Amino acid sequence: MNVPYFLKDGDKVAIVATAKRLESDISNGVKALEDWGLEVSVGEHVHNQFGYFAGTDEERIHDLQRALDDSSVKAIIFARGGYGTTRILDGLDFSNYLNQPKWLVGFSDLTSILLKSAVIEVPCIHGPVGVTIGKDGKSDLALRDLLFGHGNSVLPLVESTYTNSGRCQGKIVGGNLYMICESLGASNEIDTTGNILFLEEVGEAKYSVDRLMTKLKRSGKLDYLSGVIIGSFSSISDEKSYFEESVEEMLLSYFSHLDIPLVFGLEAGHEKRNYPLIIGMNCELEVSEKTLSITYIK
C-alpha cells in the first residue's frame, strides 16, 4: 500500500474537473484551501464547457494527467461530480501516481476514480469537492485534519435504531451506490472481501436502490464484509408509495443477517455536511449509538 504524504503549510494542491461542467463558483473552495496555508492551482480547462461536460474528454484527461504527473502537486481536489469521470478513467496513466502518490479528494461521480485508486492500493479521500468546500465548517475542519494528518476521526452519528455497535477492522471501500455497481466487471471493480463497505446515494427511486443492492448481493459483494457504513441517502423517491419500508429499512434487510458493526446516520454524501473518509487504508472502527471512531493504520 502506497500512502500519500500528509500535507504541510505551503504545499501545492490542484483543482481539476473530470465530470459535469461547473455551474457554480469554486472561489469559496479556493479561498478555504488557501486559508489552510495551501497553494492552489486551478486546472487549465476547469471552466470549459462541452455540452454537459467540463470540456472534451481529451481536455479533462489533460488536466488530471498533468496533476497526477506533477511531483509538486501533493493533493488533487476534484471540482465537482455529476457524470463523466468513467468516460476518461481508462485513458489515464497512473504510473507516476503510483511512484509518487498524492491525495485524491472527491465524492459522487468521483467514486469511480476513488475505487480505481483503492484497486491500485493508493488510499484516497471520499469528501467535499471544489464547489462544496467552504460551505460547511465541520466538514471542512474534518477534511483539513485528514489531509494534514492531525489524528484520527471521531464522527457524530444521527441516532438510529438500526446501528449495530461493535468493533471491526479492514479498509473502508465504496462511495456512491450507483457508481459502485457501475464498477463491476471494469478495471476499478470494488473489492469488499474483509473490508468495510461505505454507501451513499442521491436522487434515485426506492426500487432503483433495491435493484442496485440486489446487484451487489448477486455479485457476492455483500458476502464477506467486516463492517458497513451507511451515509446520506438523499432525495430518494417513491411517488406511488409502493414500498412500505423506509430506505434505511430496505438497506438494513441486506445486512441484518450479518454479525458485524452497522453504522447508520453518518452525514457523508450529497448533503451540505459531508464528513470525509479515507478510502482504501487499513483502519479500526469502533461504533456506538452516537459516534463512529476511526483509527487509520498506515
Of 20, 218, 214, 185, which Cα lies nearest the Cα of 119?
A: 185
| CA gap 17, 221 in Å, rounded | 30
User: What is the predicted pLDDT for the residue at 1?
Assistant: 87
- The reported pLDDT for the residue numbered 298 is 82
Backbone angles phi, psi at 229, to 5 degrees: -120, 120
Task: Using the CB atoms, write b or e for 212-221: b if 16+ within 10 Å.
Answer: bbeebeeeeb
According to CATH, the superfamily of the domain at 12-147 is: Murein tetrapeptidase LD-carboxypeptidase, N-terminal domain (3.40.50.10740)
Q: What is the pLDDT of residue 42?
A: 98
Considering only the C-alpha atoms of the chain, give the largest distance between any 2 of them, rounded to a whole number of Å. 54
Locus of grid cell 479561498: 31
Rounded CA separation 23/36 (Å): 25
Q: Which residues are catalytic?
A: 108, 200, 270
Polymer length of the chain: 298
Nine-digit cell string for 286: 469502533
| pTM > 0.95: yes or no | yes
Q: What are the φ/ψ torsions at residue 59 (nearest 5 degrees)?
A: -70, -40
Domain 12-147 matches domain 153-296 at the CATH topology level: no
Please tell me the CATH code under which domain 153-296 is placed: 3.50.30.60
> pLDDT 10s per residue in the chain (298 long)?
899 999 999 999 999 999 999 999 999 999 999 999 999 999 999 999 999 999 999 999 999 999 999 999 999 999 999 999 999 999 999 999 999 999 999 999 999 999 999 999 999 999 999 999 999 999 999 999 999 999 789 999 999 999 999 999 999 999 999 999 999 999 999 999 999 999 999 999 999 999 999 999 999 999 999 999 999 999 999 999 999 999 999 999 999 889 999 999 999 999 999 999 999 999 999 999 999 999 999 8
Name residue 285's amino acid.
L
| Type of residue at 131 | V
Q: Which pLDDT does position 66 carry in this prediction?
A: 98
Contact in structure between 177 and 217 (CB atoms under 8 Å): no
Domain ranges across the chain: 12-147, 153-296
